A and B are shown apart, each in its own frame.
Chain A
């Protein structure tokens, strides 16, 4: 009789990395649906295209690295990366934008650093930031929510086939301009000499279209709550991030309501919700301990506000997350939990050099 010998524990919770990632994907679905509902097929097509590319690329790289493909693909992490990138790209972004983005995300941001678990930066955000810097025109041409197109009551989006043609053939009819426009953040930033009050009234995307953004944010929020409920993520990062953003926005808003947007606006437009629940919580690149996560979230919240307020880019989530990714190891060292039986927590990285 020769029975197997393994280390305890002999039980294992029926969950795998793949399960975790699948839950994340599932949690993204309301957001994806909302995006499609309000901004047309573009996002859906982008997401599918991105996933296709990413899976193919991952398989190719894994083969080149001489590893078994199925194991790697089964962890679904690359799908999540592609999904997040697809969700954050403008709905009518041409196909090659996505291609470049995926290339950067999978090859450079992930595998060059050693693959899953080793990358210091969130791959989707690295790709997004790079695209934003390299192709500002394509990356800032956002879509009008359907409520702003034609009469407000019908679901008036660009037909599916047209969308495909726009994305894959570079076909740009004149009427396309009707479908594109600035995001609320852009509108707010480039409001000329107007006070926020005036901007709210004069810009259609703010006056009428903002509801679409709120809806999308609400969808992401729902997904996020689901993830917290399923213990895929903890509440620390989103809470800290949203809280910090709200607090700093409130302070400035209270100080000068004419120049600064209200906190509610900051929290509900742009990539805030997506960032808070899906991007900043990316476990690989986030701080480790619960206290660390709180500091990490606060950092992101503050940076978002600063970059939105004084930076030159339409949105700040990607940059804020990347900057805090950079700080995560440092945060980790100073936020180790107090171990059972110890009077106080360790600080810093002892035992190194």
Chain B
């Protein structure tokens, strides 16, 4: 009898002790917000274009954390899908149909002499990248524009173009070297290889 009592007491004591410990840990080490959502959000390109069907990148991140598909972000391209697959430890799926795997970076450009200053584009831009006032011509701050496309549709005179981002000296970079002999095929002749090898 005594032994049983002691055992029960001991177990109960342990339970209380661990309960307290856990409770303490939960308070002490509580993580603010949902770190997974933050991580996912960190991988999304922050274009805020809404092409995923959510009003911005963060809502989509929340949706992914909630189990939505990871292949709905066209601006991110396949690399984003892969990064997400990596993070969430799921199979990397191809992008949704119709999207390019490696989208070209775009930036909005307003043909200023055609702009009638209706401010519609300002209201559409999710990152406040457009400058202007009513009846004044508007312009896009290139460095802030994420190329989300959202300002193109509302413009009543269609004076906004999406142009590929200019690349210059500062962002020139070396290519990945041409694949070596592993990727050669039978039809490659020695001469061609010599000339073509970089």
Report if A and B touch in the complex (beta carbons < 8 A).
yes
Known A-B contacts A6-B198, A68-B188, A353-B86; A115 and B182 likewise in contact (beta carbons under 8 Å): yes
Chain B, 174-189, contact with A by CB distance < 8 Å: what is the 0/1 string? 1001000110111010
Taking a contact as CB atoms under 8 Å apart, the answer to whether A68 and B182 are in contact is no
Known A-B contacts A6-B198, A353-B86; A71 and B184 likewise in contact (beta carbons under 8 Å): yes
A65-110 contacts to B (CB < 8 Å): 66-72
A251-274 contacts to B (CB < 8 Å): none
Chain A, 43-76, contact with B by CB distance < 8 Å: what is the 0/1 string? 0000000000000000000010011111110000
**Chain B binding surface, main DSSP class:** loop
Residues of B within 8 A of A70 (CB): 190
Taking a contact as CB atoms under 8 Å apart, the answer to whether A66 and B198 are in contact is no
Closest to B188 in A: A68
Closest to A74 in B: B181
Chain B, 147-169, contact with A by CB distance < 8 Å: what is the 0/1 string? 00000000000000000000000
Chain B, 85-96, contact with A by CB distance < 8 Å: what is the 0/1 string? 010000000000
Tell me, in angstroms, the Cα distance from A7 to B176 when the chains sit together: 11
Closest to B87 in A: A353
Q: Which of B86, B177, B186 contacts A68 (CB 8 A)?
A: B186
Tell me, in angstroms, the Cα distance from A60 to B188 when the chains sit together: 17
Taking a contact as CB atoms under 8 Å apart, the answer to whether B174 and A7 are in contact is yes
Taking a contact as CB atoms under 8 Å apart, the answer to whether A66 and B181 are in contact is no
Q: Which of A5, A6, A67, A353 contacts B186 (CB 8 A)?
A: A67
Residues of B within 8 A of A353 (CB): 86
Residues of A within 8 A of B177 (CB): 7
Min CB gap B30→A, angstroms = 26
Residues of A within 8 A of B190 (CB): 70
Tell me, in angstroms, the Cα distance from A242 to B136 when the chains sit together: 84
Taking a contact as CB atoms under 8 Å apart, the answer to whether A66 and B174 are in contact is no
Tell me, in angstroms, the Cα distance from A5 to B182 when the chains sit together: 22
Residues of B within 8 A of A68 (CB): 181, 184-186, 188
Tell me, in angstroms, the Cα distance from A6 to B197 when the chains sit together: 9
Tell me, in angstroms, the Cα distance from A66 to B182 when the chains sit together: 10
Min CB gap B182→A, angstroms = 7
Tell me, in angstroms, the Cα distance from A72 to B86 when the chains sit together: 35
Residues of A within 8 A of B181 (CB): 67-68, 71-72
Taking a contact as CB atoms under 8 Å apart, the answer to whether B186 and A66 are in contact is yes
Taking a contact as CB atoms under 8 Å apart, the answer to whether B186 and A63 are in contact is yes
Residues of B within 8 A of A71 (CB): 181, 184
Chain A, 156-188, contact with B by CB distance < 8 Å: what is the 0/1 string? 000000000000000000000000000000000
Tell me, in angstroms, the Cα distance from A71 to B188 when the chains sit together: 11
15 example contacts (A-B, Cβ-Cβ < 8 A) are as follows A6-B198, A7-B177, A7-B198, A63-B186, A67-B185, A67-B186, A68-B181, A68-B184, A68-B185, A68-B188, A69-B186, A71-B184, A72-B181, A115-B182, A353-B86
Residues in A lying within 8 Å of B, measured CB to CB: 5-7, 63, 66-72, 115, 353
Extra inter-chain contacts (14) besides given A5-B198, A66-B185, CB under 8 Å: A6-B198, A7-B177, A66-B186, A67-B181, A67-B182, A67-B184, A67-B185, A68-B181, A68-B184, A69-B186, A70-B190, A71-B184, A72-B181, A353-B86
Residues in B lying within 8 Å of A, measured CB to CB: 86, 174, 177, 181-182, 184-186, 188, 190, 198
